[in-house]
Amino acid sequence: MDDITLRQLDRRDPAAAAEWRRLLEQEGISLDGNLDYTCGLFDENDNLAATGSSFGATLRCFAVDRAHQGEGDGVMDADLFQRDPEPAGRHAN
């Protein structure tokens, strides 16, 4: 992927949610209802090429479109690891 864009996915947006679900299903990944954050890598045509989510300190729902597998550079992983691992509304004791 020459031109990639990393951005947060709003799964409340019907079009974004449909594209996200399509990629997960295409790659055989089960939908997880417990997610705090979801991001996507978009190719030069603004198609969702990869996605990853987190819930608390766990990574979930990772998928890469088979047309783009083997092209990654770790951008999405770095973004997820830099996020605050505490979900909104939860506080450490």
Please report which confidence band the pLDDT of residue 2 belongs to, taking 50, 70 and 90 as the band edges. Answer: low
Please report which confidence band the pLDDT of residue 85 belongs to, taking 50, 70 and 90 as the band edges. Answer: very low
Partnered with residue 55 across adjacent β-strands are: 58
Above 90 in pLDDT, residue 30?
yes
Across 14-18, 39-43, 52-56, 78-82, least confident range: 78-82
- What is the distance between the alpha carbons of residues 85 and 65, in angstroms, rounded to a whole number? 26
For the four alpha carbons of 38, 45, 24 and 31, in that order, the dihedral sign comes to positive
CA within 13 Å, CB half, 41: 24
Cβ–Cβ < 8 Å for 54, 60:
yes
pTM above 0.85, yes or no: no
Secondary structure element (H or E) that encloses residue 30, with its range: none
